[in-house]
Amino acid sequence: MTQNVLTPSGSPRLIRWTKRTVLWLFLIVIAMLSLFPIIMVLFGSFKTNQELTGGATIWPKIWQFSNYAQAWKTANFSGFTLNSIFVSVSTTVGTLLVASMSAYAVDRVHFKGKKAYTLLMASTLFISIGAVVLRPQFDLMVKLGLNKTLWGVIIILISAHAATYFILIGFFKSLPRELDEAAMIDGCNFYSTYWRIILPLLRPGLAVAGLGVFQSSWNEYILPFVFTMSNPDLQTLPVGLANLRYGIGAAAEVQLMMAGACLSILPLLIVYIFANKSFMQVTLGAVKG
234 and 150 in contact (C-beta within 8 Å)?
yes
pLDDT of residue 277: 66
pLDDT > 50? residue 180: yes
Query: In the chain, where do the E strands start and end?
Result: none
pLDDT > 60? residue 9: no
> Can you tell me the distance from the alpha carbon of 227 to that of 77, in angstroms, rounded to the nearest whole number?
19
- CATH homologous superfamily, domain 75-243: MetI-like (1.10.3720.10)
Per-residue burial over 145-158, b = 16 or more CB atoms within 10 Å of its CB, e = otherwise: ebbebbbbbbbbbb
77 and 237 in contact (C-beta within 8 Å)?
yes
Indicate left, alpha or beta for 277 from its phi (over 0: left) and psi (-120 to 50: alpha).
alpha
pLDDT of residue 208: 84
pLDDT > 50? residue 287: no
Mean pLDDT of the chain: 82
Average pLDDT over residues 94-101: 93
pLDDT band at residue 1 using 50, 70 and 90 as cut-offs: very low
pTM (2 decimals)?
A: 0.78
pLDDT tens by residue, 196-206: 888 888 888 88
pLDDT > 80? residue 114: yes
pLDDT of residue 286: 41
> Can you tell me the distance from the alpha carbon of 280 to that of 7, in angstroms, rounded to the nearest whole number?
43
Segments making up each domain of the chain, as ranges: 75-243
pLDDT band at residue 280 using 50, 70 and 90 as cut-offs: low
pLDDT > 90? residue 96: yes
pLDDT of residue 50: 79
> Can you tell me the distance from the alpha carbon of 72 to that of 236, in angstroms, rounded to the nearest whole number?
13
84 and 218 in contact (C-beta within 8 Å)?
yes
Per-residue burial over 45-58, b = 16 or more CB atoms within 10 Å of its CB, e = otherwise: bbbebebbeeeeee
pLDDT of residue 288: 43
